[in-house]
């Protein structure tokens, strides 16, 4: 335990010293922008300390993140949501008809009733809000999903076949879609012909999952590249070539 304490203590001192050098040499500006870069770099390194092992410094940075994130999103829901859609039009705008203003109070009431969920005695009142919310969501979903995800996806699957490369691709797509659908159809036992088709579906799924894996690795590495280039270019002021 004391070895880790010396290690982390030493790293913190090195971080402070390095920032002193960067500020003193003028590489980082002595203003809120420079201070912001130092804070950002510090939090990044604290969070990366988890790679060594879970430690109090990581947990400290993690909880700063939790609090700040929750509050930032709260701010957006306030400015864009409650203030922008209810308080400003109802109480602060004069060019809106009284009828329209009063109409806005209905969803406001429904939204406020949602919060009764936390009261044991009045929780049943929140059911009205949730019923409206979920009911509207379900109703809006059905026709749009049928149109966009079923009909408009089936049509391009059933294109004419031909003895060309495009025709071969169309055949592979048709076989792939049908076999994957058969694989996910669990009401029929996967034996015989159904089992054979389902096996083909598994191979298509393996290709898709392999492709997803490759893309996921690419995505995660891109995030790391972003952070490292911030540390090198914006914090340490090492110019990176394009």
Site for another protein in 127-166 (CB under 8 A): 127-150, 152-157
- Closest to another protein by CB, 29 vs 36, is 36
Of residues 1, 51, 163, 193, which one binds another protein by CB under 8 A? Answer: 51
Q: How far is the CB of 79 from another protein (least distance, A)?
A: 4
Of residues 16, 17, 39, 158, which one binds another protein by CB under 8 A? Answer: 39
Of residues 23, 57, 87, 194, which one binds another protein by CB under 8 A? Answer: 87
Asked whether position 102 contacts another protein by CB under 8 A, the answer is no
Alpha-carbon distance of 153 to 146, in angstroms, equals 10
* Residues between 176 and 215 that touch another protein (CB under 8 A): 176-181, 183-184, 201-215
Asked whether position 15 contacts another protein by CB under 8 A, the answer is no
Of residues 167, 169, 188, 195, which one binds another protein by CB under 8 A? Answer: 169
Asked whether position 8 contacts another protein by CB under 8 A, the answer is no
Q: How far is the CB of 13 from another protein (least distance, A)?
A: 21
Q: How far is the CB of 140 from another protein (least distance, A)?
A: 4
- Closest to another protein by CB, 14 vs 211, is 211
How many alpha carbons lie under 13 Å from residue 150 in its C-beta half-sphere?
Answer: 7
Q: Render the burial of 107-141: b for 16+ CB within 10 Å, e for the rest.
A: eeebeebbebeeeeeeeeebeebeebeeeeeeeee
Q: How far is the CB of 161 from another protein (least distance, A)?
A: 14
Asked whether position 86 contacts another protein by CB under 8 A, the answer is yes
Alpha-carbon distance of 198 to 191, in angstroms, equals 9
Q: How far is the CB of 35 from another protein (least distance, A)?
A: 8
- Closest to another protein by CB, 16 vs 70, is 70
Asked whether position 172 contacts another protein by CB under 8 A, the answer is yes
Alpha-carbon distance of 24 to 27, in angstroms, equals 8
Number of residues that bind another protein (CB under 8 A): 141
Alpha-carbon distance of 119 to 28, in angstroms, equals 52
- For the range 66-70, what are the long-range contacts, defined as Cβ-Cβ under 8 Å and sequence gap of 24 or more? none
Closest by alpha carbon to 155, among 136, 174, 175? 174
Helices (H), the chain: 2-24, 32-48, 56-76, 98-114, 126-145, 152-154, 165-183, 192-229
Task: Pick the stretch among 2-10, 21-29, 188-196, 226-234 that binds another protein (CB under 8 A).
Answer: 226-234
Closest by alpha carbon to 33, among 238, 240, 235? 235
């Amino acid at each position: 335990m004391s070895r880790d304490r010396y290690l982390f203590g030493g790293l913190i001192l090195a971080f402070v010293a390095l920032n002193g050098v960067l500020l003193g040499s003028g590489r980082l500006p002595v203003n809120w922008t420079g201070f912001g870069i130092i804070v950002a770099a510090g939090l990044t390194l604290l969070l990366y300390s988890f790679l060594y092992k879970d430690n109090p410094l990581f947990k400290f940075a993690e909880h700063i993140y939790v609090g700040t994130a929750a509050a930032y999103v709260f701010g957006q829901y306030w400015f864009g949501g409650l203030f922008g859609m209810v308080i400003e039009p109802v109480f602060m705008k004069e060019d809106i008809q009284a009828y329209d203003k009063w109409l806005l109070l209905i969803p406001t009431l429904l939204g406020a009733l949602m919060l009764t969920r936390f009261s044991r005695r009045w929780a049943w009142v929140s059911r009205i809000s949730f019923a409206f919310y979920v009911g509207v969501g379900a109703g809006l979903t059905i026709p749009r999903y049928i149109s966009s995800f079923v009909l408009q996806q089936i049509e391009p699957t059933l294109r004419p076949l031909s003895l060309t490369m495009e025709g071969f691709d169309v055949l592979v797509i048709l076989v792939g879609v049908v076999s994957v659908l058969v694989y996910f159809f669990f009401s029929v036992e996967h034996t015989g012909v159904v089992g054979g088709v389902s096996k083909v579906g598994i191979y298509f799924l393996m290709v898709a999952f392999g492709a997803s894996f490759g893309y996921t690795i690419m995505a995660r590495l891109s995030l790391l590249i972003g952070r490292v280039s911030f540390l090198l270019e914006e914090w340490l002021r090492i110019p990176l070539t394009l």
